[in-house]
Each structure stands twice: as structure tokens, then as C-alpha cells.
Amino acid sequence: MGDGMGGFEEMLELKPYSLEKGEKERVLGERLIGLSRQHYGACEEYQRVVDAFGVDLGRVNSYYDLPFLPVRLFKELELRSVPEGEIVKTMTSSGTSGQRVSKIYVDRRTAGYQQKVLVKLVSSFTGNARMPMMILDCPSVVKNRAMFSARGVGILGFSILGRDRVYGLDDEMRLDVEGVVSFLERHKGERIFLFGFTFMIWQHFYKELLRLKERGVRLDLSNGILIHGGGWKRLESEAVSRREFCDRLGEVCGLKEIHDYYGMVEQTGCIYMECEYGHLHASVFSDVIVRRPEDFSVCGIGEKGIIQVVSAIPESYPGHCLLTEDEGMILGEDDCPCGRKGKYFSVRGRLKNAEIRGCSDTYGGNF
């Protein structure tokens, strides 16, 4: 696919949270409508969906009017818009054993865009310098290199932002106390980058730090910045709120800077970072539209509905316009006190009858 009209290379030059509504809808719309037409010509299944929606892509001029694929379609169909030989990696969604997993087919170009966008988004929060990085997970997550789980995709994507990377847990999910201590000694006084999945962090990192603290051992992570994602469902069942998660981590190791993110393997790269005010933000590369379940009309600000996500990245598979199984609401647009432009929103959990899914959530099944 060319980088002519609606191409992505120029978009990549944009600052991630720089465009206000009108301009964003124009720039992102051009790209998304262009992508829809490309996929229509290249992917038979996508073509059938568009036709079933009765949409004439030649006449669409807003991305709000593009057909959206339910994420579970990627479990049922192999959706690709490039020849099989060009696929360089296949990513799978999380799914507990017995459930079917989504398969996302990525070629070189789309993989490059995913990485570039992720770096732009995250470094706008963390700064450009690559920090010493501790991954709060076990090394075996990235062992199967042909098939990446959602957890592996997250870890690898964020790894580029770190240096002297260590894993905080061993393959039995035990905290590697010795390794962590020597890592912290090595980087005393430096800013440390921590990355992991919400439930794993709580279960295997926080709880272990708490035990250590009771024995008089306290790790100091007050120079740390933690970015975590993967969903809250498992923590909700333990009645741990977002607020409590942050407060308790702060108490046990001094960690002050904590950002959640919302994202999914079907739209890798375009994550939604949580700002200093606890709001999730859409960047210029993606958007969130909340819809009413009865008729899929667009919800107003503050009105709960089903989350639709759009991403300017996917070229090798028709995943640019998806209906998730999450509920949420738009909190505002262009006016978050943090100063970032674009929509900001919150996620209120899974749809009632949707399958339980989420990176940290699925893991809990083995527990």
C-alpha cells in the first residue's frame, strides 16, 4: 500500500496529542477511509462485512460512518489484507484455555508502524531517554517467538524504551529479590522504568514487596515510573480499586508515578495512556467512539456505552475500526486539565455477556 493519499508517514510526524477535534477528524478520517478502501479491495471477508452494512465506501466522509468489526470476528476468521508470505508475525489475543484466540497477522510495514506509534505515545509521557527497565513479569512470556501472546507483544513493544532490561519475576512467577536488588544498586539515583500487567503486578510484585517489608526489607522505587495495562477485572474481584492500587504500591516501595493504559492486541501500537488526572487519552493516531448498545448510535459525553476503537495503523489486516466488548464513557474532548488534545475517557469493564478476556485477566484462570 502506498504512502500517497491518506498515507501514514506524514501522520507519524504529528505530535501525539496536538490536534483539536476538527483537524483531528479530518486527518484521521482521511487515513481511516483510505484504509477501509484498501482493505475492501484486498480482503474478501472485510468486503463482505462492508457490503452487509450496506456502506458505500466511495461516499463515506467521516470515520464515524465506517463499518466496525466486532473483535471476536478475529477469532472466527483469518483476516488478512496481504499475501500470507508477507506476514512476519502472528499475534494472539489473550484467551483462557478452551477459548478461541484472535489471530492478528502483521507484515513488516504494519509492525514498524506499531512500534513507532507506541514509542511516540509512551515517550511523550516518559521522555526520550531510554531508562533502565524492569519488566514485572517472567522471561518465558516471550519464549515462543513464532506466536506472540498479548503479554509478549506488550513486553516486546515497551522494551525498546528501556535499557539494561531485567525481569523482576522468575518463570515460577516468584519475585527475583536478588536480581531486583542488584538492579536497583546498579542504577541508584537514576530514573527507572517499570512495565507490567496490572493483575500480575498486584499478585506477584506488590504482595511480595509487602511480605518483604514486614520482614524489614524495603525496596526503594521512588525514582520509578510504572506503566501497566491489561485490565482491572481480576483486581475488581479482589475489590482493589485503581486508587488503592496506586496508593498501596506507593506505600510499599515509594513508587509515585504510575500510568495505566488501555489497549488491545488487535490494535497494537495505539494504546490509550492514562494522564496525571487519571483519564485515558486518545492520540492523533486513534480514537474512541462510545455507542449505545440498542442501536449503535453515538453516546454523548458522560453516557455509558460500548467502546469502539479506531486506529490509523493496520494495513496488513482489516483491524482499523473495531467494536470492543468493553463498556466505557467519554469524559470530554480537547479540554482535559493535563493539556492534551483529543478525547479522554474511562473504561467501566466488560460487557455483561462478553467472554472474559484481558491480558492480566486470562492469566488468573490458572490460579
Partner 1 sequence: MNNKEKYVKAFVEALNVGEESVEQLKYQSVEEWDSVGHMSLIAALEEAFDIMMDTDDIIELDSFEKGMSILSENYEIEF
Q: Which residues are CB-contacts of 6 (< 8 A; sequence separation ≥ 6)?
A: 30, 31, 33, 34, 35
Provide, rounded to whole angstroms, the least separation between the CB of residue 112 and partner 1. Answer: 7
Q: Which is nearer to partner 1, 312 or 336 (by Cβ)?
A: 312
* CA separation for the pair 141, 166 (Å, rounded): 13
Instruction: Pick the binder of partner 1 from 130, 187, 207, 213 (CB under 8 A).
Output: 130
CA atoms within 13 A on the CB side of 264: 32
- In angstroms, rounded to a whole number, what is the distance separating the alpha carbons of residues 203 and 194? 16
Residue 352 makes contact with partner 1 by CB under 8 A = no
Q: Are 120 and 16 in contact (CB under 8 A)?
A: yes
Neighbour count for residue 119 (Cβ, 10 Å): 17
First to last CA, the chain: 44
Taking CB under 8 A as the criterion, the residue among 54, 98, 145, 339 binding partner 1 is 145
Contact call for residue 112 and partner 1 (CB under 8 A): yes
Task: Report if residue 99 touches partner 1, rule: CB under 8 A.
Answer: no
Residues within window 154-173 making contact with partner 1, judged by CB under 8 A: 156, 159-161, 163, 165
User: In this structure, what C-alpha cell is assigned to residue 14?
Assistant: 504529528
Residue 318 has a CB neighbour count (10 Å cut-off) of 28
- 131 is a site residue for partner 1 (CB under 8 A): no
Q: Which stretch binds partner 1 (CB under 8 A): 68-76, 152-160, 198-206, 242-250?
A: 152-160
Q: Which of 315, 298, 261, 265 is nearest to 283 (CA)?
A: 261
In angstroms, what is the minimal distance from the CB of 31 to partner 1?
20
The reply to whether 89 sits near partner 1 by the rule CB under 8 A is yes
As a 3-state breakdown, the chain gives helix, strand, coil percent values, each rounded to 5, of 35, 25, 40
> Among residues 18, 96, 99, 115, which is the contact residue for partner 1, using CB under 8 A?
115
Minimal distance in Å, beta carbon 140 to partner 1? 12
Residue 108 binds to partner 1 (criterion: CB under 8 A): yes
Query: Which member of 128, 185, 216, 366 binds partner 1 (CB under 8 A)?
Result: 128
**Residues interacting with partner 1, by CB under 8 A?**
88-89, 108, 111-112, 115-116, 119, 123, 128, 130, 142, 145, 156, 159-161, 163, 165
